[in-house]
Chain A
Amino acid sequence: GDSVTQMEGPVTLSEEAFLTINCTYTATGYPSLFWYVQYPGEGLQLLLKATKADDKGSNKGFEATYRKETTSFHLEKGSVQVSDSAVYFCALNNAGGTSYGKLTFGQGTILTVHP
């Protein structure tokens, strides 16, 4: 079956540091890939997405490129802020057809940014 593997956390950085959170996946076909973020005490928010190979998703300074050859979708940000402290989830949707909501999630990576 489909699976998503994220880098082990937690990740602790100083403000303005460069962030990479690795995400690799296993899936047949051509899944769509997502990064979601969960701020403390809040629900899940879509951060960015990519629906086909070589697509780059971007939002709020975060970027991730869909790499089919390496089955990866690593999340990057050039300069993190304290407000970026949250849990980040990589996810894929391989249902195709009419069922876009069946997401497979990675285990989540806790990011803490210190001033």
Chain B
Amino acid sequence: SAVISQKPSRDICQRGTSLTIQCQVDSQVTMMFWYRQQPGQSLTLIATANQGSEATYESGFVIDKFPISRPNLTFSTLTVSNMSPEDSSIYLCSVDGGSGNTIYFGEGSWLTVV
């Protein structure tokens, strides 16, 4: 199984600021995925991050708001830009375990925007 570490685990942010979330995996993976879970809601895929190429964003998410970096096969960052209270969510990083179609998640970054 893959072990995924996210930082920060929690943060309280001022509106209008930006925050970068880091995701570190203990093994090399081709694809990393970023999800958002708004309070009391299910999870929604933000984007797919491949190493060496631009991230692919899902409908409703744009690069200017959620820029993503993927500098190597074990690391990715997601930035939440110009935050508003509506961005208060859990942001989760996930990876494909590579065997038997198993997807693993980090513990999430719990952001509150005030």
A residues lining the B interface (CB < 8 Å): 32, 34, 36, 42-46, 49, 51, 89, 93, 98-103, 105-108
Residues in chain B near residue A43, CB distance under 8 A: 90, 92, 105-108
User: A42-B107, A101-B31 are known contacts. Are A49 and B43 too (CB-CB below 8 A)?
Assistant: no
- Report Cα–Cα, A46/B102, bound state, in Å: 8
- Report Cα–Cα, A42/B94, bound state, in Å: 15
User: A43-B106, A44-B108 are known contacts. Are A99 and B101 too (CB-CB below 8 A)?
Assistant: no
| Shortest CB distance B52–A (Å) | 14
Query: Is A49 touching B102 in the complex (CB atoms < 8 A)?
Result: yes
Query: Is A102 touching B101 in the complex (CB atoms < 8 A)?
Result: no
A-B contact count (CB 8 A): 62
- Report Cα–Cα, A46/B106, bound state, in Å: 11
Name the one of B41, B45, B92, B102 contacting A102, with C-beta atoms under 8 angstroms. Answer: B45
Q: A43-B107, A108-B42 are in contact. List 8 more A-B contacts (CB 8 A).
A: A34-B103, A43-B106, A46-B104, A49-B100, A100-B31, A100-B96, A101-B31, A103-B35
- Report Cα–Cα, A103/B33, bound state, in Å: 10
Name the one of A32, A45, A99, A103 contacting B43, with C-beta atoms under 8 angstroms. Answer: A103
User: A34-B103, A49-B101 are known contacts. Are A102 and B48 too (CB-CB below 8 A)?
Assistant: yes
Query: Is B92 touching A93 in the complex (CB atoms < 8 A)?
Result: no
What would be 11 A-B contacts, judged by CB atoms less than 8 Å apart? A32-B101, A44-B92, A46-B102, A46-B105, A51-B100, A51-B101, A98-B31, A100-B101, A101-B95, A102-B45, A105-B44
